[in-house]
């Protein structure tokens, strides 16, 4: 009996030790997630605390924490029973930043050349879509608008007593025209929505512009100083763009991992990936990685220098496309969290999709390099037709196109995809862009059926 008791005691101690260690690692991630969400949703999304608590902060296990918004301090904090305290601060033009591994005063005192305020952009009801918001009196008459309205309405419907689907905005663009849009109560055309991993696709555009300007070379070794003395020097920018760097990485959102630790605990979100070693030869293995996208953001920063880095996306991309609301949020080290943190209105996400539908052209100007969309939609090695360059694809495995992700949607579909149901779908063969924004915690839309039903309303 003594032996059994000792074994049980040791087992309990081992379980307790594991639980304590897990809580120690996970706690700051949970409170960081909550503090950042509360800060950004309030100051960028212009939403009330109760609404944020009922949605973003109600997601388990984030709901285990306690969160407080301080309007006077322009900040939000999160704790779990007074422990694992995290703080996010709001700075005009930069959104919210988690204070990680650095003193708050040091973050607030960073000398950053802020982007011009959005009210300097001509984007109003007096300017025609897509540069502005004035829509034509009539759309493509051959579209079955009544049937399309029914399809769009269905995206907001939900099963059960609680709205776990939580669709917030749906927009449909056909031949460049905004032919249908709908918003959930509390949201409208000016509301900013978190893009999550759709931010990766924004990084694609910024790299494209720098390639067009001759400042970056896709096929040259990635300019990462830590890699110059070992085999990682063979990793190219193209490898990073296609999530095929070969670096060891864990992209897991269910607990402490490389992905969650880098963006919720680290001063420099990009550095976690930079410090990892190779697991596979570059270009031979596909593994979706927020870390390498944050490395791309760092490369963009080092290429431009801090004097130009913070205004470049606004001057060279957003303003030219007519995007007035988008904000890219930096980490505590000052680098945009290119994997995850961008906020924009549904109409501006649609404008972003339209840029890619139009092969990189906006307002008569070639914003992205010629052929950039073709490069973007070429499948990454070993991705079985699911991923291109910071965009997801619908090509399907080699030799088995019928097994593509969306079998009832054309194979030329490509899309930006973000956590909890954020999507910008682009279907060139149908001249179609569909934006779907939500905060889903279950009861997800069947995107295959949803897109197929939209396509069925178009003239063929």
Q: Is the pLDDT of residue 6 over 90?
A: no
Rounded average pLDDT over 340-369: 98
CA-nearest of 146, 86, 75, 90 to 341 is 90
Higher pLDDT, 19 or 386: 386
Look up residue 405 and give its two tokens: 């992700």
Rounded average pLDDT over 267-280: 97
Specify the pLDDT at position 9: 57
Rounded average pLDDT over 309-319: 96
Q: Is the pLDDT of residue 122 over 60?
A: no
Specify the pLDDT at position 218: 98
pLDDT above 90 coverage of the chain, percent: 86
Rounded average pLDDT over 303-315: 97
- Determine which helix (DSSP H) or strand (DSSP E) holds 84, and give its type and residue range: strand 83-91
Higher pLDDT, 161 or 208: 208
CA-nearest of 304, 328, 320 to 196 is 328
Look up residue 68 and give its two tokens: 């407080």
The predicted model scores a pTM of: 0.94
List, as one string, the DSSP characters of 328-393.
EPB-TTS-B-TTT-EEEEHHHHHHHHHHHHTTTEETTEE-SPTTHHHHHTSPPTTSTTSB-SSSEE
Specify the pLDDT at position 18: 42
Higher pLDDT, 349 or 8: 349
pLDDT in tens, 376-427: 999 998 899 999 999 999 999 888 888 999 999 999 999 999 999 999 999 9
Least confident residue range of 32-46, 131-145, 252-266, 304-318: 131-145
pLDDT in tens, 34-59: 999 999 999 999 999 999 999 999 99
The residues that bridge with 183 in the sheet, in sequence order, are 169
Half-sphere exposure of 54 (CA within 13 A, CB side): 9
Rounded average pLDDT over 302-316: 97
114 falls in which pLDDT band (50, 70, 90)?
Answer: confident
pLDDT above 70 coverage of the chain, percent: 93
Specify the pLDDT at position 16: 47
Q: Is the pLDDT of residue 22 over 50?
A: no
Half-sphere exposure of 431 (CA within 13 A, CB side): 12
362 falls in which pLDDT band (50, 70, 90)?
Answer: very high
CA-nearest of 124, 138, 128 to 190 is 124
Q: What CA–CA distance (Å, rounded) separates 385 from 157?
A: 31
Specify the pLDDT at position 5: 61
Question: What CA–CA distances, in Å, run from 336 to 2, 33, 311, 339?
Answer: 58, 17, 12, 9
Higher pLDDT, 120 or 442: 442
Q: What is the DSSP letter of 38?
A: H
Q: Is the pLDDT of residue 294 over 50?
A: yes
Task: Please name each of the domains of the chain with its CATH number.
Answer: 2-91 (no CATH), 145-455 (3.40.710.10)
Specify the pLDDT at position 164: 94
- The set of residues, in sequence order, having a beta carbon less than 8 Å from that of 378 and lying 6+ positions away, is 388, 389
């Amino acid at each position: 009996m003594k032996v059994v008791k000792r074994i049980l005691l040791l087992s309990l101690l081992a379980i307790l030790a594991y639980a304590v260690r897990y809580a120690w690692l996970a706690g700051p991630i949970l409170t960081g997630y909550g503090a950042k969400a509360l800060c950004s949703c309030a100051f960028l999304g212009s939403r009330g605390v109760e609404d944020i608590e009922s949605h973003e902060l109600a997601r388990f296990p984030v709901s285990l924490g306690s969160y407080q918004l301080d309007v006077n301090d322009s900040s939000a904090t999160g704790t779990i029973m007074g422990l694992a305290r995290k703080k996010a601060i709001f700075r005009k033009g930069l959104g919210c930043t988690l204070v990680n591994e650095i003193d708050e005063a040091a973050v607030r005192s960073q000398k950053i050349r802020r982007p011009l305020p959005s009210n300097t952009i001509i984007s109003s009801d007096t300017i025609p879509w897509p540069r502005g918001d004035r829509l034509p009196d009539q759309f493509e008459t051959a579209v079955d608008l009544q049937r399309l309205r029914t399809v769009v309405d269905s995206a907001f419907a939900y099963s059960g007593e609680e709205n776990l689907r939580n669709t917030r905005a749906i927009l449909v663009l056909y031949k460049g025209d905004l032919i249908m849009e709908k918003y959930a109560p509390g949201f409208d055309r000016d509301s900013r929505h978190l893009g999550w991993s759709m931010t990766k696709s924004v990084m694609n555009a910024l790299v494209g512009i720098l390639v067009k300007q001759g400042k970056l070379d896709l096929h040259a070794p990635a300019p990462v100083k830590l890699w110059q003395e070992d085999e990682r020097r063979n990793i190219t920018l193209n490898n990073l763009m296609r999530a095929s760097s070969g670096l060891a990485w864990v992209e897991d959102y269910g607990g402490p991992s490389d992905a969650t630790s880098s963006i919720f605990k680290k001063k420099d979100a990009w550095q976690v990936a930079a410090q990892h070693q190779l697991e596979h030869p570059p270009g031979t293995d596909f593994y979706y990685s927020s870390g390498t996208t944050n490395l791309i953001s760092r490369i963009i920063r080092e290429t431009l220098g801090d004097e130009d880095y913070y205004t470049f996306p606004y001057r060279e991309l957003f303003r030219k496309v007519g995007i007035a609301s988008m904000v890219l949020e930096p980490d505590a080290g000052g680098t945009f969290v290119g994997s995850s943190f961008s906020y924009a209105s549904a109409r501006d996400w649609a404008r972003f999709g339209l840029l890619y539908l139009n092969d990189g052209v906006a307002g008569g100007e070639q914003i992205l390099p010629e052929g950039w969309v073709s490069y973007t939609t070429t499948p990454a090695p070993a991705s079985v037709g699911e991923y291109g360059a910071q965009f997801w694809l619908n090509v399907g495995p080699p030799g088995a196109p019928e097994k593509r992700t969306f079998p009832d949607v054309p194979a030329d579909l490509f899309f930006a995809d973000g956590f909890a149901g954020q999507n910008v779908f682009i279907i060139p063969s149908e001249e179609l862009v569909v934006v779907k924004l939500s905060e889903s915690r279950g009861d997800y839309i069947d995107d295959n059926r949803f897109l197929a039903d939209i396509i069925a309303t178009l003239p063929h």
